[in-house]
Amino acid sequence: MTDPQILIVSPANTAAGRVGRVVRDVTRALPMADVLVVDDGSADRTAAEASEAGAITLSLPVNSGYGATLQTGYKYGVRHHYDVIGQIDGDGQHQGEYLPVMLEALRQADADLVVGSRFLDRDGHYRPSLARQVGIGLFARVASVVTRQHISDPTSGFQLMRIGVARFFCSEVYPTDYPDADILILLHRAGFKVLEVPVKMRPSSGKSMHSGHRSLYYVYKMTLSILVTLLRPRSQHRAS
How confident is the model over 64-82, as a mean pLDDT?
96
Q: Which of 177, 173, 158 is nearest to 230 (CA)?
A: 173
The pLDDT confidence band at residue 207, using thresholds 50, 70 and 90, is low
pLDDT at 71 over 90: yes
The pLDDT confidence band at residue 53, using thresholds 50, 70 and 90, is very high
Q: What is the rounded CA–CA span in Å between residue 226 and residue 220?
A: 10
The pLDDT confidence band at residue 86, using thresholds 50, 70 and 90, is very high
Mean pLDDT lowest for which of 123-137, 156-170, 198-212, 213-227?
A: 198-212
Evaluate whether 125 touches 202 at the Cβ level (below 8 Å).
no
Mean pLDDT lowest for which of 113-122, 146-155, 206-215, 227-236?
A: 206-215
Q: What is the per-residue pLDDT for 61?
A: 94
Q: What is the per-residue pLDDT for 47?
A: 97
Evaluate whether 159 touches 101 at the Cβ level (below 8 Å).
no
Helix H or strand E encompassing 182: helix 181-189
The pLDDT confidence band at residue 229, using thresholds 50, 70 and 90, is confident
Q: What is the per-residue pLDDT for 238?
A: 58
How confident is the model over 216-227, as a mean pLDDT?
82
Evaluate whether 120 touches 197 at the Cβ level (below 8 Å).
yes
Domains belonging to the chain, first-starting first, are 6-231 (3.90.550.10)
The per-residue pLDDT of the chain, averaged, comes to 90
What pLDDT, in 10s, does the model give residues 122-148? 887 878 777 778 888 899 999 999 999
Q: What is the per-residue pLDDT for 123?
A: 83
Q: What is the per-residue pLDDT for 68?
A: 94
Residues 169-189 as b/e (b if ≥16 CB within 10 A, e otherwise) read bbeebbbebbbbbbbbbbbbb
Evaluate whether 66 touches 178 at the Cβ level (below 8 Å).
yes
pLDDT at 1 over 50: no
Q: What is the per-residue pLDDT for 144?
A: 96
Q: What is the rounded CA–CA span in Å between residue 155 and residue 135?
A: 9
